[in-house]
Structure 1
Amino acid sequence: MLREQIERLIKYERRDCKTNDATLFDLILEHARVQQRFHSQAGGRTTPQPRAQAPQQQPKRTQKSAKPSHPAGVKKVRAPPRDGCLVCRGPHWLDECPTATSEQRADALAKLRAAKNARQESVQSKAVLATARPNMVRVNGMVEIPYVPDSGADRTMISRSVVASLAEFSPDLKLSKLEAPVAVYLADGRRIECREKATVALELVTAAGPVHMRDVECLVLDSDVEELLLGNDAMKSLGIDVERMIEQLAGASLLDEEKDEFPVGDELVPPNSGEDGVLDQLVDEALPNGMPGEHVDRLRSLVHEHGDVFRERLGDDPPALVEPLKVTLADDAVPFRCKPRKYAPLQSAFLREYTAELEKRGFIRKNNAAKWACAAVPVRKPGSQTEFRITIDYRPVNKVTVPIAGAMPNLAVVSSSVRGAKCFAKFDMIKGFWQPPLDVDSQELMSFMTEDTVYTPTRVPQGAVDSAIHFQMQMQDAMAPMLQRNALVWVDDVIIFAPTVEEFLQALKEFFIILRDRRLKLSAAKSSLFQLEALWCGKLISGSGVRHDPERVDALSALPVPSTVAELQYFVCASNWLHDSLPDYARVVAPLQERLGLERKRIGRRNKNALNVAVTLTKAEVTSYNEVKTLIKASVPLVFPSPTSELVVITDASLTGWSIVVTEVQAWDDSLPVDKQQHRMVLCKGGTFKDSQLNWAIVEKEAFPIVKACTDLEYLLQRERGFKLFCDHANLIYIFAPHVELKKHVRDRLQRWAMRLCGLRFTIEHVAGETNVWADIVSRWKKSQVEFVQPRSEREANLDRQCCGHWLTKTSDFLP
């Protein structure tokens, strides 16, 4: 039984014992002692001693006492019971009660025995079990009872009935009196004084796993409740946020709870084209998604005609007809061969089974003579304790690889090509990295080692430095006839779009033909044949514009205040993904970004485990956190500007920040001021001045967002109609207007910035500060927050008062 228990512990909990003999010895010794004590005590309770031994034991007890405590013939006076008489509650024992009758004594003894038996049945000995049950606590490795995390309790408490039952299994229980009684107020308002404390070892079991706590002092509560109250003293000793309760005991983080978004092809079955039932289901889903009913039959016929491009699982299909990945090494590259690794039994079994299947499919081949070999790393799948996926540690090869000179598409640029589209389809390449071939000369470089042998892949491996960019380039090459016109590609994520259903069906047919010719396969489970808007790269794209996924927005808005540095980093990075549609984001998120930078600098490492340390946000940072969530809830949809509309760029700056707002006005009315026009948001940007930028003159700070907009947003502003540039600093008109000669006294920095604007068609117009509503909101804050820079002249002081002397919050006049 001990052997089975130790094997279970090593397999699921104490994997460190596989490589550390000393740790293994301590584990075996600990549980052997527990079992020996348990069986010895159990035998002592159940096996009656022979009567003949009774006289022999009496002299031993009397010999231990040097002198008797009472003279011979005098009856020993017993101390009164702690809870008093069972009948009258007086300070005497039941058999000495002067008022109790024989029937009352018998009833009281019967109730006492029944309560003791019920208590023993409710408390179970779990000394021989490998792990306790969830929401249970094992005390001293012997007794298992329920526990309740109580953030309202300052001390951990255990009931008297549990202590009494625990003493039966653990005679060495550490029980001591308190120096002064501790008053405890129960939930029903009762007041109980605790006079004793017990020092125990606890093993708390949560959904994330067991947590061991040793030498925990528990107040002994005079109660019959069969549970342990885990107080703030125990939780804080582990660095647990009592507001989030027991979920943090095992260090779980937000990133651990995410669903698995990056499958890597660890399930292989025989190849099969999309079955009729799966294809029909895809077509049936198109109708409720908005496809006109008269076109459903044509869509069904088209899908069945090209059903061979769909797969439910990737089998032993031949490699795609694309250019193989060729890896180029640096001139000083030296072959690397890792040392054999030791794997857990479950991992070893998975690697043997999985590599055998890959070898059977022709994806890998044995190559023990390979000069290169990186380590195979089985990673547990989310939500499973026994299932794994294979990853390869290609870092040694990546360090000596010359990267491919490729580029990923700019999402903001390519997504504008869907303007005016009404029909969308979304597809995902099934196990995309397994489809393209790997160049023969590069295969040995990507070899990996298990505990059995060395394998060399024949397909592009995931994790190599060139894998993603190579896949993107091959997909762009295959989809070249349709790119920008009817298709967008981001690695293995493809959307097809068209302005009419007729054109959409033609585009689908062209897409399927390309896939068949290139032997590329789609995932039937992740495909959608018709949508009115498509979720692509985390954003919902339609013909009218871009908006963020409501599920992502709701999830971010519902996040609690971060309790670890990793959670803070997760929130800052996730919210930054939405910043183009969040006015005033740069100012609001600045305290969180500053705190994150300080924490990462203090820790020194940025991986998930290193950042999973507790952090407590200040009141100002919590306010900033809540303001960011408010911005996320009110995120603004973005539109694609029309070539015939008027594009408006509004910039503003204050002492410590700047903002850019780009809008579209479809019907510009010259008789109306800019704030009365019908604007639609294209995007917004903002930022704060840092370091030496804080010492710039006001004219330089006002110029910066203009140059920033014309440089970073050139893909939007380089247009035949040009654009209108509005700012609230009159001097800039004389500096940047193309039709005005540059002033000789302008600083070199402004002259360089002005030269960057050459080639753009624009007109700068001045807007009074009280009119520049929206941009002022983005960049301005109260005077109390403007304290980084002091004006360097009276003129600059006047300009500063003009620039930052107001605080506007009204936006309804600016937007329809």
Structure 2
Amino acid sequence: MKSNEGFWRVLDKPDQSSHSEDCQFLRMLSSIERWRGSAIPDKVGTLKSKSVVVLQPMSEHLVWGRLPPGLKLSVGSTVIIEPSTSRCVHRNVLIGRVISPLWGDGWLPVKMINPTNSEIVLRKNAKLADVYPCIALEDFDHVQEQRVFQNVAISSGSSCGSLSAKSSVSGAKHFSDIRLDEMGLKDLNLNDCEVSPFWRSKLIDLIKKYECVFSRHSLDCGEAKGFCHRIRLTDDRPFRLPYRRVSPAHYQKLRETLDEMEQMEIIRKSSSEFASPLVLVWKKNGDLRLCTDFRWLNARTVKDAHPLPHQADVLAALGGNALFCTMDLTSGYYNIPLHEEDKKFTAFSSPLGLHEYNRLPQGLCNSPATFMRMMLTIFGDQNFMSLLCYLDDLLVFGKTEEECLQRLELVFQRLRDHNLKLSPSKCMFLRRSVKFLGHIISQDGVASDPMKVEAIVNVSEKDLMEVDGVTPSVGKIRSFLGMVIYYQHFIENCSMIAKPLFQLMTGQKRPRKGRGVGKRSGAIRKLTPADWTDECRGAFENLKTMLVNQVLLAHPDFSRPFILSVDASMSGLGAVLSQV
């Protein structure tokens, strides 16, 4: 049904009636994501409770269960949660069927009803429900289905046209995959495009035209034309820091990574009088990322004041759009070359020798400013109008498929003209909802990213304590509040709820740098176990609870008037710009 052009034509029209069951059903289908991967399992797994759950009598509950660890999950795909066939499930509990997206953590909601007059207690690790993948008609055997259609078409000549059209729709997925494989872009996933096969074919033609802007591997980055990074120092006296020791088991992987980067001309061997230590960072997939500790160099660097876009300004420009495309530049900073005279400053030491960067590395204090200046030079006239750029992240939006493809072609053309490349695995085209800057963007509004929220909710009270487990840590509390404040616009009265936690950091300012550091301007109060009160504990739990309650913020409509609400007192003032 999603392959039918009429399906999306209905969704593109505004709701004339908020009680239209047909439109609500179609919108539910539009959010369904097919199972990714070559093999579709018959059953994903069984959900189990991770704590004791008490079901109140004559009540409906939403209980969260988790899939067993170690399963191969298709993150982002839609699954169906159904009653379990196991005999271990409580007989008096009714399980409702639920359609939900599958996240990497394995947590899924289960709708449970207790129809009895007494409480029902579900023990820890109790089986709740079974999880199955959503299977589309296109996921069945295309070859066999196509043969059936051909045989029927031969036997009944009058219906040949309609049947051949059905078989072509069923084979659309394989055709697009074959075309991408021919271009060497097998990592580019177009099966999640929420448009008809006609527009998907138009998208493939556009990608074919600009296939040079897509990378073929992780270090296949471009080299921006007309841009270079300069390093201005306040003190050019050389410094030489010793390298950090590396486990002998990692020597081979380090050598391979350095050789690969040298072949791609990202780094080169150096004879510089400067040396910063190399830092090895291991990714979740086992790959090695090379970082450099540039703190000594940054302390002597003249800072660049070029601003980065404000998150609120970026998200406020998306109203009235139905389709979104997100793109990410391959090895973003490596796309900008370093000035020849400044390469010696970026030299880094390791057990395998001294190297220096040919491209802009991560860790330099002015790297974000230089990169943002380049992006605004290339896309500045279209920023906030047809696209959004935040460092190496690009978001293209549009009201219709045709408008979105036109804007995509403009982006591809400018990327090609400036010799920049995109990472195919991080590109999502023609989607009804996408992830951008830690938020879920859709036509209806902006929501928080469930995976980010889960990481915050999983922070326990013990994680905020010092080594002794009872004394609150100022640094850990500051880190927790930093994560929460990022989503403060989704939490009503966030500052008021977090006030007890902010009070713990009162008088905990870091000592000033420069003259007078040794003088005591005031005693810094050290926290004790008694400072972690019930109010602090309640604020900590309330903030996590408020984040779990998903709130959708509607896009502002700048064609309508706004309401300015102000409030002032002897201790402060505030203002809120809202729209009804």
After TM superposition, the score normalised by the length of structure 2 is 0.59
Equivalent position of 2:351 in the other structure: 451
> Rg: which structure is higher?
1
Correspondence list, 1:508-657, <5 A: 508-563=408-463, 564=465, 565=473, 567-597=476-506, 617-634=532-549, 636-653=551-568
Shift of the 559–363 alpha-carbon distance from structure 1 to 2, 3 Å rule, reads: closer
Deviations 1:329-385 (A, max 9, x none): 11x3312222355433134444333222222222222222x122212222344586x
8 Å CA contact retained: 1:280, 1:300: no
Shift of the 597–525 alpha-carbon distance from structure 1 to 2, 3 Å rule, reads: farther
8 Å CA contact retained: 2:328, 2:422: yes
Q: 3-state SS of the aligned residue for 2:492?
A: coil
Amino acid aligned to 1:303: I
| Partners of 2:180 and 2:275 in 1: CA distance | 37
Task: Give structure 2 stretches of 5+ with no counterpart.
Answer: 1-178, 466-472, 514-525
Give, in angstroms, the shift of residue 313 of structure 1: 1.7
Task: Give structure 1 stretches of 5+ with no counterpart.
Answer: 1-272, 605-610, 665-678, 680-816
8 Å CA contact retained: 1:274, 1:312: no
Asked whether 1:329 is paired with 2:265, we answer no
Correspondence list, 1:186-197, <5 A: none
Asked whether 1:360 is paired with 2:260, we answer no
Amino acid aligned to 1:639: A
Match of 2:207 among 303, 307, 313: 303
Equivalent position of 1:38 in the other structure: none
8 Å CA contact retained: 2:231, 2:301: yes
Amino acid aligned to 1:429: L
Match of 1:285 among 166, 191, 212: 191
Q: 3-state SS of the aligned residue for 1:638?
A: coil
Shift of the 519–601 alpha-carbon distance from structure 1 to 2, 3 Å rule, reads: closer
Q: 3-state SS of the aligned residue for 1:285?
A: coil
Q: 3-state SS of the aligned residue for 2:363?
A: coil
Amino acid aligned to 1:371: E
Q: 3-state SS of the aligned residue for 2:325?
A: strand
| Partners of 1:446 and 1:516 in 2: CA distance | 28
Shift of the 570–358 alpha-carbon distance from structure 1 to 2, 3 Å rule, reads: same
Give, in angstroms, the shift of residue 396 of structure 1: 1.3
Amino acid aligned to 1:503: E
8 Å CA contact retained: 1:419, 1:542: no
* Percent identity over paired residues: 25
8 Å CA contact retained: 1:433, 1:467: yes
8 Å CA contact retained: 2:277, 2:349: yes
Q: Identify, as 1 or 2, the structure richer in helix.
A: 1
| Partners of 1:315 and 1:373 in 2: CA distance | 24
Correspondence list, 1:208-607, <5 A: 275-276=181-182, 279=185, 282=188, 284-287=190-193, 290-315=194-219, 319-330=223-234, 332-339=235-242, 341-368=244-271, 370-382=272-284, 388-563=288-463, 564=465, 565=473, 567-597=476-506
| Partners of 1:297 and 1:279 in 2: CA distance | 15
| Partners of 2:341 and 2:576 in 1: CA distance | 51
Amino acid aligned to 1:367: S
8 Å CA contact retained: 1:282, 1:529: no
Shift of the 388–533 alpha-carbon distance from structure 1 to 2, 3 Å rule, reads: closer
| Partners of 1:662 and 1:471 in 2: CA distance | 32
Shift of the 583–651 alpha-carbon distance from structure 1 to 2, 3 Å rule, reads: farther
8 Å CA contact retained: 2:215, 2:421: yes
| Partners of 2:376 and 2:291 in 1: CA distance | 27
Shift of the 644–342 alpha-carbon distance from structure 1 to 2, 3 Å rule, reads: closer
Deviations 1:757-793 (A, max 9, x none): xxxxxxxxxxxxxxxxxxxxxxxxxxxxxxxxxxxxx
8 Å CA contact retained: 2:215, 2:221: no
8 Å CA contact retained: 1:587, 1:657: no
Amino acid aligned to 1:298: K
Correspondence list, 1:69-218, <5 A: none
Give, in angstroms, the shift of residue 388 of structure 1: 4.1
| Partners of 2:421 and 2:264 in 1: CA distance | 16
Equivalent position of 1:250 in the other structure: none
Equivalent position of 2:157 in the other structure: none
Deviations 1:63-114 (A, max 9, x none): xxxxxxxxxxxxxxxxxxxxxxxxxxxxxxxxxxxxxxxxxxxxxxxxxxxx
Q: 3-state SS of the aligned residue for 1:418?
A: coil
8 Å CA contact retained: 2:190, 2:428: no
Give, in angstroms, the shift of residue 615 of structure 1: 9.9
After TM superposition, the score normalised by the length of structure 1 is 0.43
| Partners of 2:283 and 2:555 in 1: CA distance | 40
Deviations 1:248-274 (A, max 9, x none): xxxxxxxxxxxxxxxxxxxxxxxxx97
Give, in angstroms, the shift of residue 405 of structure 1: 2.9
8 Å CA contact retained: 1:366, 1:456: yes
Give, in angstroms, the shift of residue 560 of structure 1: 3.0
Deviations 1:703-739 (A, max 9, x none): xxxxxxxxxxxxxxxxxxxxxxxxxxxxxxxxxxxxx
Shift of the 413–467 alpha-carbon distance from structure 1 to 2, 3 Å rule, reads: same
Q: 3-state SS of the aligned residue for 1:391?
A: strand
Count of matched residue positions in the alignment of Structure 1 and Structure 2? 379
Amino acid aligned to 1:363: I
8 Å CA contact retained: 1:534, 1:541: yes
Deviations 1:108-131 (A, max 9, x none): xxxxxxxxxxxxxxxxxxxxxxxx
| Partners of 1:430 and 1:535 in 2: CA distance | 18
8 Å CA contact retained: 1:373, 1:446: yes
| Partners of 1:533 and 1:413 in 2: CA distance | 19
Q: 3-state SS of the aligned residue for 2:562?
A: strand
Question: Whose RCO is larger (CA < 8 A, sep 6+)?
Answer: 2
Shift of the 615–397 alpha-carbon distance from structure 1 to 2, 3 Å rule, reads: farther
RMSD: 3.1
Shift of the 316–487 alpha-carbon distance from structure 1 to 2, 3 Å rule, reads: closer
Amino acid aligned to 1:504: C
| Partners of 1:614 and 1:353 in 2: CA distance | 49
Deviations 1:277-304 (A, max 9, x none): 87477464244xx223431211121122
Give, in angstroms, the shift of residue 571 of structure 1: 2.5
Amino acid aligned to 1:374: S
